Structure 1
Amino acid sequence: MGRHTLAEEPVPHPLDPPKRQQGRSETTGSHRIVAAKAPRRRIAGWPIACAGLVVLVALGVFGWNWADSVLNNRAEAQAASCGGNRTTVRLVVTPQIAKPVEAAASRWDADLTPVHGACFQVDVTTKPSSVVLDALTGKTDLSTIGGLPDGWIPESSYWVTQLTNAKPELIGSPAMPIGSGPPADYPFVGLAAASVGDTATDENQQRATQSFRAFLKEPAQLADFAAAGIRAA
């Protein structure tokens, strides 16, 4: 019309796909259609846990039986090595510490603990420290304490100092505190000499005495000391 003409829209070809209108999508209402995902299947954890527990129990039973067998074999071997011959280690202790030391001696004897190929049993005698000091220094006869002991545990280091000053040759090994409980420290001193009229303590006897002293510091014995009101040194 007049000077302007209308642009003619192209006629769509019959085989062309229909055009999608811009700015719109296939929706249902105002939401897109989203395909639902299938839920994942989860593996139950309890069968795995039960299987693991069964394995642990089986290993525990096996380990227990193995350890028990080893201990039994060891005890039998030690008993055979002793051949029924056991030398006695004699200790004289103050009454305050007698009970836990006697319990330790019973364990030591039951274990058949060998020292340098020899077997020893521990005999514990209870005597007041003043009586022991008098016997060891010659003021009274050694028979009052059953002869020269291999070790002595008084209630305090005072008594060891008195013995060291009077008879230094009697000290076979330095005193080592076993426990503490005011005002005591319970020193364990090894004895070795023949000058007091008794048989000299041989080297193996001294080693056995020192081994038993170390044995007193192990957890089972320390528990007995604690029960008696004696703290670990």
Structure 2
Amino acid sequence: MGRHSRVDEVEEPEPDPRDALTSTGSHRAVGKAARRKVAAWPIACLVLVGLLVAGWFGWNWADGILSNRAEAQAAECGEGDTSIRVLTAPSVTKPVSSAARQWNEARTVVHGHCVRIDVQAVRSDRVLDELLGDTDQTYVDDTTAAWLPESLTVAGQLASQRPELIGSQPESIAEAPSGDYPYVALAGNGVDSVKQRAAQSFRAFLLAPAQRDAFDDAGFSTPARR
């Protein structure tokens, strides 16, 4: 007989039930929905656009506020800017200058003009001589609208000899052992009605409670706190 080879029957293993739950290659569970990931960049873009829009509205709002404020100030100062000079005895210059800075920062308006106050310390006898015409004018000019000497007596000399130069009745602003300090609003010498009014308004400003601390700190007593 011919040679025959015998093939043994190989017993195949029973399939594992777990294999039916997975697919080959991806190992993805069969029967379960795949989780869908959301890309982060669309969200980031939306946030960025929102910030840009908010910034644009904020910028326009702030710009509108500044523009309205500038227009309001321009309307208040419709007649332009002007300035007056206030001559003071050296000993009282510091608190008066402090008040003038606050006045100027507020751009105080008088008769449609934004008025700037310039304070200059000058000896009282020198100012009196210039106002009386005894010396050439060095400090007194057409912007000099007020004077704070260190004595009512000095102010009285001007009132008796040159009454036309007194714009309003002298009023005491401060007192100290060195003397009494009257505020003299001036007239003449080119001081127009706007400057006269500004000088009188500044006197009221000096007497306001908000300005009195500077006088107290400098060692003065004031009409409001005697």
Report the TM-score range of the alignment, normalised by the length of the smaller protein: 0.5 to 0.7
Change (3 A) 1:182 1:119: same
Name which of 114, 117, 124 aligns with 2:112: 117
SS in 2 for 1:180: strand
- CA–CA distance in 2 between the matches of 1:97 and 1:121? 19
1:147-205 deviation per Cα after TM superposition (whole angstroms, max 9, x unaligned): 25100000110111111121111111110110111242210011101xxxx42x11121
| Alpha carbons 1:78, 1:114 under 8 Å: kept | no
Comparing 146-155 and 220-229, the one that deviates more: 146-155
1:2-52 deviation per Cα after TM superposition (whole angstroms, max 9, x unaligned): xxxxxxxxxxxxxxxxxxxxxxxxxxxxxxxxxxxxxxxxxxxxxxxxxxx
Find the counterpart in structure 2 of residue 221 from structure 1: 211
Counterpart residue identity of residue 185, structure 1:
D
| Alpha carbons 1:88, 1:120 under 8 Å: kept | yes
Q: Percent identity?
A: 46
| Alpha carbons 2:174, 2:222 under 8 Å: kept | yes
Backbone CA RMSD of aligned residues: 2.2
| Alpha carbons 2:78, 2:112 under 8 Å: kept | no
Change (3 A) 1:181 1:115: same
**CA apart distance, 1:230:** 0.6
| Alpha carbons 2:131, 2:140 under 8 Å: kept | no
Change (3 A) 1:219 1:79: farther
Name which of 182, 186, 209 aligns with 2:181: 186
Structure 2, unaligned runs of 5 or more? 1-67
Find the counterpart in structure 2 of residue 88 from structure 1: 83
Change (3 A) 1:82 1:163: same
| Alpha carbons 1:151, 1:209 under 8 Å: kept | yes
| Alpha carbons 1:179, 1:185 under 8 Å: kept | yes
- CA–CA distance in 1 between the matches of 2:95 and 2:69? 26
- CA–CA distance in 1 between the matches of 2:104 and 2:199? 13
**CA apart distance, 1:81:** 2.6
Name which of 175, 195, 206 aligns with 1:205: 195
- Divergent runs of 4+, >6 A: 73-76
TM-score, normalised on structure 2? 0.64
- CA–CA distance in 2 between the matches of 1:230 and 1:76? 40
- CA–CA distance in 2 between the matches of 1:78 and 1:212? 20
* Alignment map for 1:1-233 (pairs within 5 Å): 77-82=72-77, 85-142=80-137, 144-148=138-142, 149-193=144-188, 198-199=189-190, 201-233=191-223
SS in 2 for 1:145: coil
- CA–CA distance in 2 between the matches of 1:178 and 1:79? 32
TM-score, normalised on structure 1? 0.62
Structure 1, unaligned runs of 5 or more? 1-72
**CA apart distance, 1:90:** 1.0
1:94-146 deviation per Cα after TM superposition (whole angstroms, max 9, x unaligned): 0011011111111000001111222100011110000000000011011x214
- CA–CA distance in 2 between the matches of 1:165 and 1:175? 13
Change (3 A) 1:131 1:226: same
